[in-house]
Amino acid sequence: MKIIMLGAPGAGKGTQAKQIADKYGIPHISTGDIFRANLKQGTELGKKAKEYMDQGLLVPDELTCDLVMDRIGQEDCKNGFVLDGFPRTIPQAEALDKALANINEKMDYAVDVDVPDENIVNRMSGRRACINCGATYHIVSIPTKVEGICDRCGEKVVLRDDDQPETVKKRLNVYHEQTQPLIDYYKKQDILRTVDGTQPMEQVFGAIVEILGA
Ligand code: AMP
């Protein structure tokens, strides 16, 4: 099964994508995670991506598309994958469709986790990420077992630069301008499914499983 997760930054699509990956045994591909891993390793790609990420802007399509096409061509993706944070622009969506069409494949579902803007800014201010392994938490809905310390690796968890309130507002604007048009794009392909992302996380997941099938 090949799934795209759509939704504003902070809508909870990453958390849902991880659960989908676990349940259906398919890889979770997050472009944000890939950029952050590159940043941590100090690669050229990481350095270039940081310039955009820190400002709440999108990394240019030419840096993003090849990376994803390489990843989905790998062996572990042959039974499907869940894309989280990609595509984020119409050209990215077209590049994805084209790459899949070349191998006679297409996406199965685009799941939009719908959350109004006013909820997003509040949610993001509670988000915390580990400075070492990148695991993400939320001070209310997914707290760490020990305050300020990552459950997974024991390092500090912090509010990421790109989750700072001013950057969040900018990311939301970018979302509305560049990513929201994908809703119509996938509606036209008849693969768009919308879930109410304001519900508790387990209910959002339940709604997604109903769409994808048990
Ligand atoms: P995320 O963790 O998905 O919110 O991504 C964090 C940041 O990485 C975004 O604000 C963008 O700067 C960058 N990014 C992630 N995915 C993409 C993409 N598909 N296209 C362009 N930039 C991206």
Instruction: Report the separation in Å between the CA atom of 29 and the middle of ligand 1, taken as the mean of its atom positions.
Output: 12
What is the arithmetic mean of pLDDT over 129-158?
94
Give the torsion through C-alpha atoms of 13, 38, 55, 182, to 10 deg.
-40
pLDDT per position as a tens digit, 100-128:
999 999 999 999 999 999 899 888 889 99
The torsion angles phi and psi of 185, rounded to 5 degrees, stand at: -55, -45
CATH number, domain 2-116+165-212, options 3.40.50.300, 3.40.50.720, 3.30.1700.10, 3.10.105.10: 3.40.50.300
Task: Verify whether residue 127 is a known catalytic residue.
Answer: yes
What pLDDT is recorded for position 122? 82
Q: Which amino acid is at 39?
A: L
In ligand 1, the atom with minimum distance to the C-alpha of 9 is 4
Instruction: Report the separation in Å between the CA atom of 161 and the middle of ligand 1, taken as the mean of its atom positions.
Output: 13
Peptide bond into 200 cis (omega under 30): no
Domain segments of the chain: what residues? Answer: 2-116+165-212
The alpha-carbon radius of gyration of the chain (Å, integer) is: 17
At 214, the pLDDT band (50, 70, 90 cuts) reads confident
Token pair of 115 as six digits: 């959350």
Is the CB of 124 inside a 6 Å radius of any atom of ligand 1?
Answer: no
